[in-house]
Amino acid sequence: MMDLELAGKTAVVTGASRGIGLAIATELIASGMRVGAGARTLTDGLKTSGAVPIITDLTAPDGPALLLDQARDELGGVDVLVNNLGGGGETEMATGFLDSTDREWSEIFDLNFFSMVRTTRAFLPELIQRRGSIVNFSSMTARIPHTSPLAYAAAKGAVSTFSKGIAEEFGPRGVRVNTISPGPVLTEQWTAPGGYGAQYAAARNVTVEQVLTDIPREMGVTTGAFADPRQVAALVAFLSSPLAGAVHGADYAIDGGAIKTV
């Protein structure tokens, strides 16, 4: 196993209760880091992950400050911030723009964009002091938006632009900033009974297994398969590592080839 030189470093991962966030926390711990896991709920997976759970709502104005204060108390400082919190795109799949409301757009942007802005602002003084790094999560939909989910794609487009600007401003002050843009990732929302995958299958009158085959093809994924959360987590670990010291302001697509442009 490659030594990523992360032993003894600390990280905070947002949206870490399940799915990609939990996989990231687990991978960073396996790489030798101490991890604070920001989440709104304490799941069984988070309890057994080895991360320090920090229960807070980052869509609340005081949520990021509470996350930072507890992370400092538990970890002694923060070297890496992983802004993974997001979601909500799947709820728009059956509707179009004219059926959407201001409230729905506001909620999508608050969860996917403004929570990241507030959290980054709260953590930057700490990261400047420790010459740390930030990994932000955008989405392939930011670069190839479809008619739906448009609000989610627009919010992720804002994330990509925000990340590039923060990289330009704070790179000279010692903070590396990079972005990851996943395509479809096989998390519990697709596989759990009663989850989105099951609902999508019921709406199409097909099996969940068929949905898991159809979705990558419909999204233009060249490999024809969902990404594994561990594959995404491994990329986060690399970007957090001193070995990636020259990687800055980059946007990594992990989408199985769905983005076709150069």
- pLDDT tens, position by position, 73-119: 999 999 999 999 999 865 544 567 888 899 999 999 999 999 999 99
Considering the domain boundaries, does residue 193 fall inside one? yes
Considering the domain boundaries, does residue 101 fall inside one? yes
Whether 100 and 207 map to the same domain: the answer is no
Higher pLDDT, 179 or 94: 179
Q: Which of 57, 29, 50, 42 minimizes the C-alpha distance to 119? A: 57
Q: Tell me the residue range of the domain where 173 lies.
A: 10-185+228-254
Q: Which of 135, 133, 8 minimizes the C-alpha distance to 79? A: 133
Based on the residue annotation, tell me whether 152 is a catalytic residue of this protein: yes
| 170 φ/ψ angles, rounded to the nearest 5 degrees | -105, -5
Considering the domain boundaries, does residue 2 fall inside one? no
Angstrom distance (rounded) from CA 124 to CA 72: 13
Whether 49 and 177 map to the same domain: the answer is yes
pLDDT category at 211 given cuts 50, 70, 90 is very high
> What CATH code is carried by the domain that includes residue 111?
3.40.50.720
pLDDT digits (tens, 9 = 90+) for 158-176: 999 999 999 999 999 999 9
| Residue 92, pLDDT score | 45
| Residue 196, pLDDT score | 86
Whether 125 and 239 map to the same domain: the answer is yes
| Residue 1, pLDDT score | 72
Sign of CA dihedral 54, 189, 135, 138: negative
Prediction pTM value? 0.96
State the catalytic residue, choosing from 152, 196, 200, 252. Answer: 152
Whether 164 and 190 map to the same domain: the answer is no
Considering the domain boundaries, does residue 260 fall inside one? no
Considering the domain boundaries, does residue 5 fall inside one? no
Q: How many CB atoms lie within 10 A of CB 179?
A: 27
Percentage of residues in the chain having pLDDT higher than 90: 89
| Residue 147, pLDDT score | 61
User: Do residues 195 and 205 make contact, with C-beta atoms less than 8 angstroms apart?
Assistant: no
Considering the domain boundaries, does residue 109 fall inside one? yes
Whether 70 and 166 map to the same domain: the answer is yes
Beta-strand relationship, 251-254 and 176-182: parallel
